[in-house]
Structure 1
């Protein structure tokens, strides 16, 4: 297990050596949240007005895998807004959860943290009615593939795709942020812990038994709550 105290000290030293004049630096990610594992890296977000544009960089430094997220106090805004528009607010989460390593910004840090908290509380902009129809249609299409397929190898890929589709659909239709990989489950759990457990159990049952009825039932229930499966009459790109 990673020594959290040592990880924080290392992050401070790395920032001091690489960005000695930075305005602000935070240690984010699993170490900041005290959820780290032996494979966790150091996610360090830096605001330095000597850089001309934002960038991300991965390095091994002092025996640690380090992810650098580097911005100026103006360039960050492009990524901040892009994360918000994508409904996957990575930067906002970093600002809220991060541990301060350096702060010479006066009010900038407090204002950006407060803005990030407001963004996270508000949730993403709702899907348009057209986007809702498209997502419903493609979720229905994947469900039909699952119902009709019996070849195990193909089923695994269908189910994997469906897991991502279904998770995104549930979260966005209910006004919640999404995430990728492990963050998808975390977002589902934050939305509704009981649903998240049911979601996990349905897919776990498939992976353990090769039986798909629980995944099918869960997906059908979600679609029914959203107006039912959508196929007949759906069109995309057609000129009226």
Structure 2
């Protein structure tokens, strides 16, 4: 029988990252909304490791480990501001603490500020290019001769 997400995350952390500074279980599992096909998103801070992302299969769970250092998360926050999606910021704010460290609170406070500050404002060039792209797609969709062509046009907008 499959262990709970929380027990699995703690066991995984003990086995694979026992010396990490702190770790958080994020995503659907941290909210108790996991499904049978959910993975476990675990954010791990460890200044002894390089910043990377790795996938694991552990105790019948797929695990996505996001490894950060005390400075790599700042670079990720900058990238998130540019793309307008604060994924790491939200994981840090909403996640369940698996292992604590003195730096945890400061990093979460930084994540709150990051999320509250919002994305980098769009430039007029970007806005105008987007308007053109959307208008062009709508024209292509309206002018579609076949359902297949319309579906392909809709999918190209994603």
Q: TM-score, normalised by structure 1?
A: 0.62
Per the alignment, do residues 121 and 74 of structure 1 end up closer, same or farther by CA in structure 2, a change over 3 Å counting? closer
Q: Distance in 2 between matches of 1:48 and 1:75?
A: 10
- Provide the residue aligned with 1:31 in structure 2: 29
| Stretches of structure 1 lacking an aligned partner (at least 5 in a row) | 165-240
Question: In 1, Cα distance between the equivalents of 2:74 and 2:43?
Answer: 14
| Residue matched to 2:121 | 126
For 2:63, what is the secondary structure of its paired residue? strand
Which residue is equivalent to 1:62? 59
Larger RCO, structures 1/2 (Cα 8 Å, 6+ apart): 2
- Alignment counterpart, residue 109 of structure 2, candidates 93, 106, 114: 114
Q: How far apart in 1 are the matches of 2:123 and 2:78? A: 19
Matched, 1:79 2:76: yes
What's the CA shift string for 1:121-168, capped at 9, x where partnerless? Answer: 232121111111111111100010011112111111112233x3xxxx
The Cα of 1:56 is off from its aligned counterpart by 0.4
Q: Structure 2 CA distance, aligned partners of 1:72 and 1:83?
A: 17
CA shift at 1:115, angstroms? 2.0
Return the offset for 1:75.
2.5
1:118 shift after superposition: 2.2
Structure 2 gaps, min length 5: none
3-state SS of paired residue (2:66): strand
Q: Which residue does 2:13 correspond to in 1?
A: 15
CA displacement, residues 205-230 of structure 1 (integer Å, 9 cap, x when unaligned): xxxxxxxxxxxxxxxxxxxxxxxxxx
* Counterpart Cα distance in 2 of 1:79 and 1:125: 14
Alpha-carbon distance, 1:65 to partner:
0.5
1:101 Cα shift? 0.1
Q: Secondary structure at the match of 1:84?
A: helix
Residue in 1 that maps onto 2:136: 141
The CA deviation string for residues 176-202 of structure 1, in whole angstroms up to 9 with x for no partner, is xxxxxxxxxxxxxxxxxxxxxxxxxxx
More helix by share: 1
Aligned length: 157
TM-score normalized with structure 2 length: 0.92
Match of 2:47 among 35, 46, 49: 49
